[in-house]
Amino acid sequence: PAFTWEVRANDRNYHVQFKKKFAFCLTKKKYAGNAIKTAKYNIFTFLPLNLYEQFHRMANVYFVFVILLQTFPEISTLPWYTLLFPLSCLLTIRGLRDLIDDVGRHQSDRNINSRPCEILSGKSFRWQKWRDICVGDIVRLHKESFVPADMLLLCSSEPSSLCYVETADIDGETNLKFRQALLVTHQELVSEESLATFDGEVTCEEPNSRMHSFTGTLEWRGETYSLDSERILLRGCKLRNTDVCYGLVIYAGFDSKIMRNCGKIKRKKTKLDRMMDRLVIIIFLVLLVTSLCLAIASGFWARMFQEKHSYLSALYKNTTPAQQAFFNFWGFTILLSIIIPMSMYITFEFIYLVNSFFINWDLEMYYAVKDIPAKARSTSLNDQLGQIEYIFSDKTGTLTQNMMSFKKCCINGTIYGTGPGHENKQPSGSGLTWSHHGEKKLDFCDATLLEAAWRDSDPVLREFLRLLALCHTVMVEEKGDQLVYQAASPDEEALVLAARNLGYVFLARTRDTITISELGEKRTYKVLAMLDFNSDRKRMSVLVRDPQGTIRLYTKGADTVILERLQRRGPNETFTEMALERFAEETLRTLCLASKEVSEVEYSKWSRRHREASILLQDRTRELDKLYEEMEQNLQLLGATAIEDKLQDGVPETIQLLKLGNIKVWVLTGDKQETAMNIGYACKLLTDDMEILEEKEISSAPTIPSSHSEILEAYWVSNNNLSGSEEVLCSSRLSQPCPEASCHKKRAVIVSGDFLDKILHVGEVLKEKKGWLWRRLACCRAMGPQEPGSLVEKAFVDLATSCQAVICCRVTPKQKALIVQLVKKHKKAITLAIGDGANDVNMIKTADIGVGISGLEGMQAVQCSDYALAQFSYLQRLLLVHGRWAYLRICKFLRYFFYKTFAGLMAQVWFAFHSGFTAQPLYEGWFLALYNIFYTSYPVLSMGLLEQDVSAKKSLEFPELYVIGQQDELFNYRVFGITLLHGVSTSLASFYIALWAFEDGIGSKVVGDYESFAVTVATSALLSVLVEIILDTKFWTVLSFLMVTASLLLFCLFSFLTQSIDAFRIAPAVFRFPEASRNALTDPYILLVVLLSLVVNTVPSLTVRLYRTITGKNTIQQNIRLKARQEPEPSVELRAHVPHGSFHRRSSYAFSHQEGYAGLITRGDSLRTGDTRRAT
């Protein structure tokens, strides 16, 4: 990266002078202010921007075109304002919805920008707002406050200028992380005066989205000091256990790393929405072609008519056949324009809105504990909830509660904590005196273990509990009479709390002592050395001298590393291995505990070498590791602990159900690999019969031919930039399906952020190069050989999507979004992202549907989400019930709206063949106006609101039903084609049966006129449409009956009102069909014609349904019902058989500790001088 970002402390004028180009010749400040703006609109841009977005919908463009045509009186059939009013209503409804969303975003921005902070102004600190902060300012932060910008830590009130931060809002982790200032700034910047005169200059990389890395230098007083991420406080962190700290602002506002990871707000359109846009274009083109054909025919007919009837030439004096054809073309266009009715779009919005209310009102998704209901924050994506193929989930706070609890342990061949859920009281009369230190209720409470601890007769148990109280890096603080522990990881805290509750209380620590209370007796141990944890060693040890003067080593770590360092393997060790296997089966996180006595001679030799190694300048870490290895040999096993990383309620069952519904779940987390894998097993995402592909197995070119080797070869060929011909070869290999044998083998992929960086890097370079022009060229060349970047991406996506589970660990927020983008791009799949922290915001915005968990980590995720839930488990109901129903309802609604429109209005076309191809309407104007609004829309509306094929209970019992939505079965081009043909056939039957009846016979009354004919065709079409909807409604309610009845009653009522003699007398030009319906529909002959039309239109539908039932062409639902009758459904809670020794393949060890804490303690950096009581 280019080190061109220069920050001068206390020098605002220096930064103001720099500008950078951002569009054409326009420039803006290089150094951004700290105010953020996540809203899309302001007062001036709302109207133009919102209208611009709305007219991306083809239907709106189409309606404007029709309104413009209606303004020409020569071709107009309706006044133009009658169409403008409903369009304005539609645009207003959608505009208001967007406005309300944006007002919420403005409110949120205002709250964040107005947070108070102290900024150094002149020689003293003044309280100002976050938005007033500029790059180069020095800011004072207090305990429990949020960091307002990315800052270089200058000094703090803690020893050695340490600073403890919690990054829950960034990566969801609640354990503390430490940051430390440079020694020079810690020593020199001791007062406000020294801070005011500080004029250091930081040179570092330009603003970027890499959360875990920072490289730069500080130049001050002629010296240069190197800076890394350990010196930086990121925006969004919370200051903990540190009273005051001072920082120099490096990146502000949108330049800060968290904002760089946030992504833009994207307007989300559903798959059906996009399809509707294409359908509108298709229908419009068909309409134009039809109008053109009819207009040409009208021209020929006019010429022929004029030649044949020359005595009428006076009528055609001012017009030619060509002119007639021209006017007729526009006349037909307007007449047929109602085939895409505006009422459909207004009803559409209403259905979406009501279905959103159903989600909000669902008591099954209401979390009573915290009084949080489910909330549909977006109302236009409901149907897409029924089409999800991939779910991308955060881990911490989404799948887990981020709470560790000590569940079981195995000590000296005995397993404790076997009775789940028993709340055992302390043994009466035991006189335990340490309980006043506790402030947390303990999940683990085994009476036998408590009694054994109190009896103090088992030396192994004593050592076991002593180890828990001594071997850790926890800090302790006394608040009143309460001890408050601050741990580097939640599992450390769980172990120390367990020891405390069993009588071994950690009280205080200094640089070289630890004080604990053992069953009420205070003992101080001298700490001789701390052998720090790291991810390669997978263990930590502490070397102590007890009050009697004996030196002991206490070690805890992964079973795989501890068991191979034992002195002997006896029956106890074998039993402990079996216990570990059992704990692993229950997906508990295990640690092995061991100790040994060290002789004075051995210690003095080791200590001398340890001192020498710790002052080495080269290979210090390697030499220390060697020494640690020597000391940690010939250990005696004390036992094992099992900690539960508490999952949220119902997570395993939900993931199991989603899998059965053909939905793949990917976990994207910022956590370590071991922790992520453990949760994978705990929530049944990973099972023991899966082949697990880790990074090293993916990125080393495989020698054994396996099903993924083709993909990986492609990855290697493209990575090494081989010739184009080989790339083409690779892409053809990629497209081959995997061999049958290996397709059936279950696989999971586990990769880290670094590995993804390598894969995504090539694609990123292409995107950043030369802006839009380069991307446009890349699109044009996409038909040629594939770019190396996209080939690598495709190879990875093909491999990952062929697996049953994917876990990505140590990923940044931006990488989360890029993974979602990759799957959308290469698989064209509908994706859903679910998370609860600010680190999930980008992923939530990028996915087709974003779900925010209203959890512990603030509300950033919820504010950017489309749907808000309180628990991950509610996802099953949101997708399998509400999503599937919404998809079914919208699809049926569209199908029947199109059907009724074609069935009713295509008769206009057939009538043209018998009316000299003039654009004379067949129906009465009022029938045309009211057909889509009153006569047929209510039954279709009730179907769109309430239709269900199976109940909610059955939807969850048979998640396989969900596949219908993923495969777009209910509404696609084929279904639309069939609907079109069905509608056309209904209109043909209605029109030609009536025409045939009127041609050669007249009933008992005189009803051979055009008006009676129009009424007959209209009634036949209307009744046929209503019967078809009645036949296809699966779920009948009172509302469904009312809607059908209301349609018929409204038809009768409006026919009576618009065709009354009185109305005709008042306005004969408007009410042109006096008494037409009464004349026609009181004639038995006409009624028989209507009945015949109805029978002819209904019989084919009934025949198709009967044929399907007889030949066994059942629907998926019927197949599933059949399956349910034949075999009992296995319960959702599945447990795979664990083959013996399988836990060696995956030790369930996962210690979420951070390296470096032991060093802080032994150096005394983290401890206040002269204060043995507390250390923060």
Task: Give the residue from 498, 561, 556, 558 showing the smallest Cα distance to 530.
Answer: 556
Highest mean pLDDT among 297-306, 496-505, 1077-1086: 496-505
Ramachandran quadrant class, 71 (left: phi over 0; alpha: psi -120 to 50; beta: rest): alpha
Residue type, 1009: D
Give residue 794's pLDDT. Answer: 84
pLDDT, one tens digit per residue, over 399-455 is 888 778 898 999 988 899 865 544 444 443 333 444 445 444 455 668 889 888 888
Instruction: Write the DSSP assignment of 145-191 as a string of letters.
Output: PBP-SEEEEEEESSGGGEEEEE-HHHHS--SEEEEE--HHHHHH--S
Query: Mean per-residue pLDDT for 1157-1174?
Result: 62
How many residues would you count in the chain? Answer: 1176
Rounded CA separation 581/595 (Å): 22
Confidence grade of residue 486 (pLDDT, cut at 50, 70, 90): confident
Q: What's the pLDDT at 728?
A: 37
Question: Which tokens is 310 given?
Answer: 């020359």
Looking only at the bridges linking them, the beta strands covering 400-411 and 223-227 are unpaired
**Side-chain half-sphere of 922: how many Cα atoms within 13 Å?**
27
- The dihedral over CA atoms of 879, 882, 887, 889, expressed in degrees to the nearest 10, equals 170
Sign of the Cα torsion 458, 459, 462, 464 reads negative
Q: Provide mean pLDDT across the span 848-866.
A: 80
The type of residue at 43 is I
Burial class (CB in 10 A: 0-12, 13-18, 19+), 400: buried
Q: What would the mean pLDDT of 138-147 be, rounded to a whole number?
A: 93
Query: pLDDT for 57-88, tens place per residue?
Result: 888 999 999 889 888 887 776 677 777 888 89
How many C-beta atoms surround the C-beta of residue 560 within 10 A? 15
More confident residue, 767 or 972: 972
Share of the chain above pLDDT 90, in %: 43
Position 679 pLDDT exceeds 70: yes
pLDDT of residue 858: 58
Using alpha carbons, select from 618, 816, 608, 790 the residue that is nearest to residue 714.
790
Residue 1158 has pLDDT above 80, yes or no: no
Whether 535 has a pLDDT exceeding 60, the answer reads yes
How many Cβ atoms from other residues are within 10 Å of residue 829's Cβ?
16
Whether 725 has a pLDDT exceeding 50, the answer reads no
Q: Which of 442, 394, 335 is nearest to 76 (CA)?
A: 335
- The three-state DSSP-derived secondary structure of 252-290 is CHHHCHHHHCCCCCCCCCCHHHHHHHHHHHHHHHHHHHH
Q: Report the C-alpha gap between 463 and 177 in whole angstroms.
A: 30
DSSP state, residue 243: S
The pLDDT tens digits for 295-306 are 999 988 888 887
The candidate with the shortest Cα–Cα distance to 855, out of 842, 865, 843, 868, is 868
User: Is the pLDDT assigned to residue 955 strictly greater than 60?
Assistant: yes
At which residue do the structure tokens 């977005």 appear?
53
Q: Which residue is it, tokens 């962190």?
A: 237
Q: What is the pLDDT of residues 904-948, one digit of tens each?
A: 889 989 999 998 888 788 888 888 888 888 899 899 999 999 999
Torsion sign (Cα): 334, 335, 339, 345: positive
Tell whether the model's pLDDT for residue 738 goes beyond 50.
no
CA distance 366 to 202: 51
| pLDDT surpasses 70 at 357 | yes
Which tokens belong to 98?
A: 């967007």
Helix (H) or strand (E) holding 809: strand 805-809
Cα distance between residue 1118 and residue 996, in whole Å = 42
Average pLDDT over residues 671-700: 81
SS3 per-residue string spanning 194-221 = HHHHCCCEEEECCCCCCCCCCCEEEEEC
pLDDT of residue 418: 65
- Per the CB < 8 A criterion, the answer to whether 486 and 497 are in contact is no
Among 248-262, 633-647, 997-1011, the minimum mean pLDDT is found in 997-1011
Distance CA 566, CA 572 (A): 12
Give residue 686's identity as a one-letter amino acid code. Answer: L
Cα–Cα distance between 508 and 501 in angstroms, integer? Answer: 16
Question: What pLDDT is attached to residue 1048?
Answer: 94
Among 295-304, 631-640, 1151-1160, the range with the most confident prediction by mean pLDDT is 631-640
What pLDDT is recorded for position 928? 84
CA 484 centroid distance within chain: 36
Question: Please, what is the average pLDDT of the chain?
Answer: 83
Among the listed ranges 260-269, 381-390, 585-594, 1159-1168, which one has the minimum average pLDDT value? 1159-1168
- Lowest-pLDDT choice from 339-343, 729-733, 760-764, 774-778: 729-733
Residues 6+ apart with CB under 8 A from 80: 67, 70, 71
Q: Which of 436, 438, 458, 440 minimizes the C-alpha distance to 449? A: 458
978-997: pLDDT as tens digits: 999 999 999 999 999 999 98
Q: Which of 3-12, 156-165, 591-600 has the lowest mean pLDDT?
A: 156-165
Spatial neighbors of 894 by CB under 8 A, at least 6 apart, are 272, 276, 971
Tell me the whole-structure pTM to 2 decimals.
Answer: 0.81
Task: Tell me the pairing of strands 390-393 and 831-835.
Answer: parallel
Radius of gyration of the chain (CA): 38
Kindly list the distances between the CA atom of residue 1086 and the CA atoms of 596, 999, 1167, in Å, as whole numbers in the listed order.
105, 13, 100
**What's the average model confidence in pLDDT over 102-123?**
90
What pLDDT, on the 0 to 100 scale, is given for residue 384? Answer: 95
Say what angle helices 80-113 and 58-70 make with each other, to 10 degrees. 140
Beta strands per DSSP E along 934-999 = none
Residue 790 or 631, more confident: 631
Measured between alpha carbons, how far is 8 from 137 in angstroms, rounded to an integer? Answer: 9
Question: Bridge-partner residues for 808, per DSSP?
Answer: 668, 751
pLDDT at 354: 93
Higher-scoring residue by pLDDT: 256, 177: 256
Per-residue pLDDT reduced to its tens digit, 888-909: 999 999 999 999 999 988 998 9
Give pLDDT, residue 789: 62
Q: Is the pLDDT of residue 207 over 80?
A: yes
Residues 6 or more apart in contact with residue 705 via CB below 8 angstroms: none
Block residue for tokens 């749907």 = 867
pLDDT for residue 1064: 86
Residue 248: pLDDT above 90?
yes
> Is the Cα dihedral 891, 895, 898, 901 positive or negative?
negative
Q: Active-site residue numbers? A: 394
Element (H, E) at 108: helix 80-113
Task: Report the distance separating Cα 714 and Cα 730, nearest Å.
Answer: 5
By the 8 A CB rule, do 462 and 456 touch?
yes
756-802 pLDDT, tens digit per residue, is 887 776 444 444 443 433 344 344 444 444 555 677 788 889 889 98
SS3 content of the chain, % helix, strand, coil (to 5): 50, 15, 30
DSSP letter for each residue of 1072-1098: --TTHHHHHHT-HHHHHHHHHHHHHHH
Between the CA of residue 1130 and those of 654, 657, 681, 1135, what are the distances in Å? 15, 12, 20, 11
Q: Check residue 5 and give its pLDDT.
A: 92
Tell me what pLDDT residue 780 has: 43
Is pLDDT above 60 for 254? Answer: yes
The reported pLDDT for the residue numbered 431 is: 38
- The b/e string for 1113-1145 (b: 16+ C-beta within 10 A; e otherwise) is eeeebeebeeeeeeeeeeebeeeeeeeeeebee
Percent of the chain with pLDDT over 70: 84
Per the model's pLDDT, the better-predicted residue between 705 and 141 turns out to be 141
According to the model, what pLDDT value does residue 788 have? 58
Whole-number pLDDT of residue 587: 78
H-only helix segments in 661-804: 673-682, 695-699, 709-719, 724-735, 740-743, 753-768, 771-780, 788-801
Q: Where are the beta strands (DSSP E) in 488-520?
A: 504-509, 513-518
Which pLDDT belongs to residue 897?
92
Per-residue pLDDT at 1145 exceeds 70: no
Q: Do 152 and 256 touch, CB atoms closer than 8 A?
A: no
**Looking at 361-454, which runs of residues are DSSP E strands?**
375-376, 390-393, 400-411, 414-416
Q: Is the predicted pLDDT of residue 244 greater than 60, yes or no?
A: yes
> Cα torsion at 475, 478, 483, 484 (round to 10°)?
-50
Ranking 21-35, 645-659, 674-688, 1115-1129 by mean pLDDT, the lowest is 1115-1129
Q: Is the pLDDT of residue 719 over 60?
A: no
Contact 299, 324 (CB under 8 A): yes
Residue 442 and residue 409 in contact, taking contact as beta carbons nearer than 8 Å: no
Q: How far apart are CA 239 and CA 251, in angstroms?
A: 18
pLDDT at 1062: 87
Q: In what order do the strands lie in the sheet with 176-180?
A: 176-180, 162-166, 238-240
